[in-house]
Amino acid sequence: MTALPSSKEDGHCAALVRLIWIPTLAAFALFCLDVLLPNPGRAEDAACYVGSGQCAACHDYETRAWVGSDHQRAWTEATSENMRADFDGTRFEGAGMSVIFNEDTDGYHALVTEADGTTTRRDVHSIIGVEPLQQYLFETEAGRLQSFDVVWDTQGKRWFHLYPDAILPPDDGMHWTGPYKNWNARCAECHATGFEKGYDAQSSNYLSRQAEMGVGCEACHGPGSTHVGWMEGRSKDEAALNPGYGLSMRTGAGSEPWIQQCAGCHSRREAYGDGNPLPGTPYHDAYRLSPLNPGLYYPDGQIRGEVYVYGSFLQSKMYREGVGCLDCHDPHTTKLIAQGNALCTQCHSPAGNADFPTLPLKIYDAPEHHHHTSGSPGAECTSCHMTEAVYMGNDWRADHSFRVPRPDISAETGAPDACTACHTAETAAWAAKTIAAWYPDPVHRGPHYGEIFAATQADPMLPAERLIAIAHDMEAADIVRATALSLLLPLRDRGTAAATADLLTDGNPMVRAFAAALQGADANDAVVETLEPLLADTSRTVRFASLRGLFGFPVDNLSPEARPDHDAVLADWRKSQSNKADFPETKMVLAGQALAVRDYEAALLAFRDAVALDPGRLDAWNMIIRLTAALKDEAALRSTILEALAVNPHSDELQAFALQIGIKGEDQ
């Protein structure tokens, strides 16, 4: 996993392509990445990642803040300086496995006995994170790194399993050695700088590389060689006239670009690329953001799964009024810029904040607002407006939607409420009554989209009118409007398509993309005419949504003007899918696309690829069996069902298939 130079080396970059040691920091791997930076005067130059050590000479304050931060320690080498866990013969028993941890002169090791009884010695390759837990990577094959499910609690000083109720054999896709726990594919790009996955689909091998382990300066600001080269020989006064020269993300870029830059890692999303996009790439050109899906969010938008902040923050009034990540967080230390209620009262106070002139100038940090004893946990702003949930066993994360507590709708949404999170002996109805007594004005207790989302999730075939109204409500957050459109997909028909067609020109890419998904209700030329302009949309997410809507239509149906756009988007989409060739989910997408164009043999091969990566995907086996029944003979069908049952012996669905063609228990 050591960073390697690219094949092209020239100019200033060639001198930097080598492994060097920065005595005051750490070892930084430096390599040239052929990236064209949008910089004045030097846009034609290829920029190289030079390592955070190169930045330290001029940016001493920022470097000192960054060293030791969660960003710097997001991924580190397995050294005694970085290791927090006890490897002195300690043991873990649980989740159907047994582990003995030890250390010797060769490093750190784990003797792992799996649920199927196999025992293997694993060597710790590297370390993930530092607080409140530390996770460890094992190199199970050359270049393939897997994140181990037994982790170290840095506060409780103990080993624990991230999924204690999941007893999995090694051939299960969700086992720590499986595709869903692969570091190269699933995690590394947000724990490294200048990461390239480098997966070879033919050999199933990884040739990953990174400019730097951990989140370094260039992970946010972009490759630095052009910047470093320009700064050389200039005085500080000269450099101060253009401090961001040569960088793809500049300090003064404004709030929204920096929010999108942070969101690349702090969001639940599908990535389009093979690793880190160039810092400064618009979010919806690099990722497809998840809407407020069940499992990730409660119907009212509160966090449920691990969503990494961005989807929550987009729901907030703070985001709508221009507040950005850096108004509360120091990006170098990764800590808050103030502690406790002082963080909130820098704006929410009688003095206010000139940067946000719409704020009411009033007292918030007082009992007349929070109705709790000053200094108590209930008096903390976050207790009511940023409720927390625990992920990865012991890591508490705050909801960044900054919502007004709504216990009055908990019964409809099934969502938790801030009040009974502390007052555990009380009910949501009690909390709602108490809040109504404190705040008689019901301005914040009107109808809520969460009630409609909850009803629709319970019965997707409910009438569409209320969801269509939310999608058109310009006072609602864009992610809420997009979610309303996503909930309309099961109802997709001509009426729904017509009622949402105006949103194809909405200002938000997420809204445009889901509106496009609703248009393909019928296979007619009107759909082609509606969607083909979006093939030239400014956002990749929208272009891909348009392309998916056109799957199944002959290319000849497109206008001559749109065909070049279609071909370019199709090539780009195929490239994005090839970047995820190690994902079982990608194989399912490719199979679906093949079905849409009635290429059933290609669909069968893609479904086969999916179960090769994850034998437990029953949805793929279901389609393999159905396609085999349609395309092959009975002997092939019988063999396929037996093959599926061999790896999924307890599946009722597969057993039903077996009974249909006369396969009995003794035959299995």
**Which helix (H) or strand (E) covers residue 403, if one does?**
none
Count the Cβ atoms, other than its own, within 10 Å of residue 475: 7
Longest distance between any two alpha carbons in the chain, whole Å: 84
Quick: pLDDT tens for 467-496.
999 999 999 999 999 999 999 999 889 999
480 C-beta neighbours (distance < 10 Å), count: 22
What is the reported pTM?
0.91
Q: Cis check for the bond before 132: say yes or no (omega within 30 of 0).
A: yes
**Statement: residue 40 has pLDDT above 80:** no
Task: State yes or no: pLDDT of 34 exceeds 70.
Answer: no
| H helix runs in 3-79, sequence order | 11-16, 52-56, 60-66
Residue 36 has pLDDT above 70, yes or no: no
DSSP H helices, 76-195, are 183-186
**Which of 169-183, 245-259, 292-306, 623-637 bottoms out in mean pLDDT, i.e. has the lowest?**
245-259
Give the closest residue to 243 by CA, choosing from 5, 62, 378, 422: 62
pLDDT higher than 90, residue 502: yes
Task: Give the Cα separation of 349 and 369 in Å (integer).
Answer: 12
pLDDT higher than 70, residue 137:
yes
Mean pLDDT, residues 414-430 taken together? 97
**pLDDT over 50 at 509, yes or no:** yes
pLDDT of residue 41: 36
Query: Would you state the structure tokens that stand for residue 656, as one six-digit string?
Result: 């039903």
- Give the CA distances from residue 602 to residues 58, 537, 614, in Å, rounded to whole numbers and listed in that order: 56, 29, 18
Average pLDDT over residues 580-604: 97
Domains identified in the chain and CATH numbers = 1-71+182-251 (no CATH), 73-181 (no CATH), 285-447 (no CATH), 450-578 (1.25.10.10), 584-667 (1.25.40.10)
Here the tokens at position 21 are 């040691």
pLDDT at 45: 53
Q: How far apart are CA 648 and CA 511, in angstroms?
A: 39
What is the overall mean pLDDT for the chain? 92
| Phi, psi of 80, rounded to the nearest 5 degrees | -65, -30
The pLDDT, as a whole number, for residue 625 is 98
Percent above pLDDT 70 for the chain: 93
Gap between the Cα atoms of 381 and 417, Å rounded: 15
To the nearest 10°, report the CA torsion of 190, 191, 194, 199.
-80
